[in-house]
Amino acid sequence: MRRTPTMKDVARAAGVSVMTVSRAFKRDTSVGEETRKRIHAAADDLGYVFDSMAANLRSQRSHFVAVTIPSLNNANFAATVEAMTARLGAAGYQVLLGHTGYDILREEELIAEFLSRRPEAVIVTGGRHTPRARSLLSNAGVPVVETWDLPDDPIGHVVGFSNAACMDLLVDHLAGQGYVRIAFIGGDAGGDTRGADRRRGFVAAMQARGLDATRLIRAGQPPISMHEGAAAMAYLLDKAPDTEAVICVSDLSAFGALTECQRRGVSVPDDIAIAGFGAYDIAGICVPTLTTVDPCPAQIGDRAADLVLTLIETPGGPAVARIEPVLKIGQSTTRDP
């Protein structure tokens, strides 16, 4: 069994010291043009593959950035991560991605695992964590960024927005269109703290306008699916048929709700208006298009990545980068004049 070659083997083959080989594999280091070529030729010849593990240990730089998101199967978190990966990758960092399943206990485990890989920064989603997770992150000695939220008591840095304020945008829009009896469809209280924040934001926004905020449908364990959105809409149409508009915790559940209306011959928006959250592709193409709020996920990724890159160079005190979500009005809440 052939052992995988090391720098030593390459050095021997090229007739130089290992140090020169090491230098030949880096940029901005002085190695003769001739020598460098010879070394790379020898390396290719031997099938040498650089060993980051050893390099990381000696240089105490892992070039990892740990990132946790609740779920891989979510276009918005995916967009955030893709944006991060692009920026961090360009700067020579590798993203170590994990998903928590919306479970802060699982998040804690994941953070512990990740920290043992000595990432140079950690980016987490949301502002709620277990005490041990908080403590691990605080003591990790690397920049920590919380995203997709504006925590009351941040661990370190923040790149996010107020989920509650997004609901204010929607309620404002609906109230402006003259809707009064407005319902909310979301998940049960559970792991999805951003969903729970939006529910709270809905209640606050309604109360601030003197509107009844008791039409709250709990549609199952969050995050709720299209099917659960449909079931919730069925329940709503049966139990509170005088409802004029409904805000769903996400576009996916909103679309499910829309399909239930279609199956029943209930017209949207003439009989009932529907709004969602997230600006998923589907909101822009379904018939009618859905009113929603765009949380600018790629912007979150970009900003978080930039922040991390800055902080790795020059550590700095906590900062909050506020993202401004954008109301996108669709056909599903547009009342005929």
Partner DNA sequence: GCCTGTAATGTTATCGTTATCAGCCAAGGC
Partner DNA sequence: GCCTTGGCTGATAACGATAACATTACAGGC
Which positions lie near a copy of itself, rule CB under 8 A? Answer: 4, 47, 49-54, 56-57, 62, 71-73, 75, 78-79, 81-82, 85, 94-99, 112-113, 115-118, 136, 139-141, 225-227, 230, 252, 255-256, 259, 262-263, 281-282, 284-287
23 interacts with, out of a copy of itself, DNA, none, CB within 5 to 8 A per kind: DNA
x/- track of binding to DNA for residues 77-106 (CB under 7 A): ------------------------------
Contact 62, 56 (CB under 8 A): yes
Cβ proximity to DNA: between 8 and 200 the closer is 8
CA–CA dist 121, 137 (Å, integer): 10
131 interacts with, out of a copy of itself, DNA, none, CB within 5 to 8 A per kind: none
Cβ proximity to a copy of itself: between 106 and 181 the closer is 106
* SS3 of residue 190 by DSSP: coil
Kindly calculate the radius of gyration of the chain based on its CA atoms and give it in whole angstroms.
Answer: 26
Minimum distance of a copy of itself from residue 270's CB (angstroms): 16
Site for DNA contains 22 (CB under 7 A):
yes
Q: Which amino acid is at 165?
A: A
35 interacts with, out of DNA, a copy of itself, none, CB within 5 to 8 A per kind: DNA
How far is residue 82 from each of residues 119, 165, 308, 319, measured CA to CA in Å? 18, 26, 15, 23
Site for DNA contains 16 (CB under 7 A):
yes
Cβ proximity to a copy of itself: between 286 and 307 the closer is 286
Q: Per residue in 187-222, is it b (16+ CB within 10 Å) or e — as a string?
A: beebbbbbbbbbbebbbbbbeeeebebebebbbbeb
* SS3 of residue 5 by DSSP: coil
State the CB neighbour count (10 A cutoff) for residue 234: 16
Q: Which of 44, 45, 51, 212 binds DNA (CB under 7 A)?
A: 51
Site for DNA contains 30 (CB under 7 A):
yes
Stretch that binds DNA, among 57-65, 280-288, 294-302, 305-313 (CB under 7 A): 57-65
Which of the residues 58 through 77 are near DNA (CB under 7 A)?
A: 58-60
CA–CA dist 233, 227 (Å, integer): 10
Minimum distance of a copy of itself from residue 238's CB (angstroms): 19
Q: H or E element: which one contains 311? A: helix 297-313
281 interacts with, out of a copy of itself, DNA, none, CB within 5 to 8 A per kind: a copy of itself
Q: What is the DSSP string of 266-277?
A: --TTTT-EEE-S
Q: H or E element: which one contains 98? A: strand 94-99
Cβ proximity to DNA: between 60 and 73 the closer is 60
CA–CA dist 101, 22 (Å, integer): 41
Site for DNA contains 25 (CB under 7 A):
yes
Q: Which residues bind DNA (CB under 7 A)?
A: 3-4, 6-8, 15-20, 22-23, 25-26, 29-36, 50-51, 54-55, 57-60
